[in-house]
Amino acid sequence: MSNSPEITQLVDRFGRTVDYLRISITDRCDFRCVYCMSEEMTFLPRAQILTLEEINYIARAFAELGVKKIRITGGEPLVRRGVLDLLENIGKIESLNELVLSTNGSKLVEMAEALKNTGVKRINISLDTLDAAKFKQITRTGVLATVLKGIVAAKQAGFERIKINAVILKNRNHLEVCDLVQFAIDNAIDISFIEEMPLGVINSHDRAEVYYSSDSIKSDLKQKFQLNSIEEQTGGPSVYFKVAGTVTRVGFISPHSANFCSTCNRVRLTVEGRLLLCLGNEHSVDLKKVIRASPGNMEKLKQTIIEAMNIKPEKHEFDLKEQPVILRHMSATGG
């Protein structure tokens, strides 16, 4: 039993309740998407990253502090050995409402069914283009057909409300936004468009030059689809619309054009065990140090997490013209 039972919720200095944790379980990936990684990446040595047991332990601490939703991400979470056991263990935490996963889809053909059996409720699959050559350009190593088959496998496994995430870059894939929405409609799934964020040093493009705003995407879509506003919130940063006459919802994640910080309910656990209080700032607390210095001391871990809420910044500091503002890549961060 907890010695601090009066605290069942994490609340920061600005009155925001934190009930959503995103965990990066690996910085490794079988893709090298141009907005996420450099072509040559140096990955972290094993001793520096959390073990699966440590991740599970920290997830439990957060659940005891009122976190209701956990997203497992990376890097590519499905390339980490033991990921299914980890998901099964986290899925058993009773107080959690939702265990969800982000993936690039490359391993879904083999893993979708086993994933469904772990207790994962929903999955997000990245898909930026429907053109095989462009897919190769953007992901550098990915194969479009494999991911498309993965999406089919996820549907067959019975996942509900599958969502595609598409990062839109001007003159790379911005002309495809209507086709991507049509793909979502044809497959009865959802889609979110993401504005690129300046995380980590990349070498393929100038981020300010390829910026394509959510408003531009919306006006492109309105040429072909009727988008109706909806109230429904998923607990994430997306603002959603329903495509009239379909089951598909279209979301916009707009860190530059529509700041979402005032309703931020989330924190991130990096692959190295740092609790990151904001994606667009460096404020963090080293939870790995705490659990390795005092193994099994759940109270100490929970107290550290509670105190960390005091340094959660009010808002992110992204600026496309001043690069790189944040040196860590999305893959290590838990995007």
Residues that bind ligand SAM (CB under 6 A): 29, 35-36, 73-74, 76, 102-104, 126, 165, 167, 194, 196-197, 199, 330-331, 335
Work out whether 331 is an interface residue with ligand SF4 (CB under 6 A).
yes
- Residue 200 CA to residue 198 CA, distance in Å, equals 7
37 binds, options ligand SAM, ligand SF4, none, Cβ within 5 to 8 A by partner type: ligand SF4
CB of 161 vs ligand SF4, minimal distance in Å: 20
- Residue 127 CA to residue 221 CA, distance in Å, equals 17
State the residue for tokens 């439990």: 60
Site map for ligand SF4, 301-330, x if CB under 6 A? Answer: -----------------------------x
204 binds, options ligand SAM, ligand SF4, none, Cβ within 5 to 8 A by partner type: none
Work out whether 284 is an interface residue with ligand SF4 (CB under 6 A).
no
Considering only residues 32, 107, 122, 266, which one is a binding residue for ligand SF4 as defined by CB under 6 A? 32
175-186 burial: b if 16+ Cβ within 10 Å, else e: ebbeebbbbbbe
User: Which residue lies nearer to ligand SAM by CB, 165 or 234?
Assistant: 165
Per 3-state DSSP, the chain is made up of helix, strand and coil in percentages (nearest 5) of 35, 20, 50
- Residue 24 CA to residue 199 CA, distance in Å, equals 15
Stretch that binds ligand SF4, among 3-11, 27-35, 153-161, 220-228 (CB under 6 A): 27-35
Q: End-to-end distance of the chain based on CA atoms, in angstroms? A: 33
CB of 331 vs ligand SF4, minimal distance in Å: 4
212 binds, options ligand SAM, ligand SF4, none, Cβ within 5 to 8 A by partner type: none
Considering only residues 56, 89, 126, 214, which one is a binding residue for ligand SF4 as defined by CB under 6 A? 126
User: Which residue lies nearer to ligand SF4 by CB, 108 or 243?
Assistant: 108
Site map for ligand SF4, 75-94, x if CB under 6 A? Answer: xx------------------
Work out whether 36 is an interface residue with ligand SF4 (CB under 6 A).
yes
Question: Contacts with ligand SF4 in 38-77 (CB under 6 A)?
Answer: 74-76
Sign of CA dihedral 185, 112, 152, 155: negative
* Tokens describing residue 174: 């911005």
Polymer length in residues for the chain: 335
State the residue for tokens 């429907």: 130
Which amino acid is it at 158?
G
User: Which residue lies nearer to ligand SAM by CB, 74 or 251?
Assistant: 74
CB of 191 vs ligand SAM, minimal distance in Å: 11
User: Which residue lies nearer to ligand SF4 by CB, 132 or 247?
Assistant: 132
CB of 74 vs ligand SF4, minimal distance in Å: 5
Sign of CA dihedral 196, 199, 200, 206: positive
DSSP secondary structure string, 16-75?
A: -EE-EEEEE--S--S---TTT--SS--PPPGGGSPPHHHHHHHHHHHHHTT--EEEEESS
Residue 230 near residue 241, CB atoms below 8 Å: yes
* Tokens describing residue 100: 């969800």
State the residue for tokens 């808002």: 315
194 binds, options ligand SAM, ligand SF4, none, Cβ within 5 to 8 A by partner type: ligand SAM
Residue 190 near residue 251, CB atoms below 8 Å: yes
CB of 37 vs ligand SF4, minimal distance in Å: 5
Note the residues at the interface with ligand SF4 (CB under 6 A).
29, 31-33, 36-37, 74-76, 104, 126, 330-331
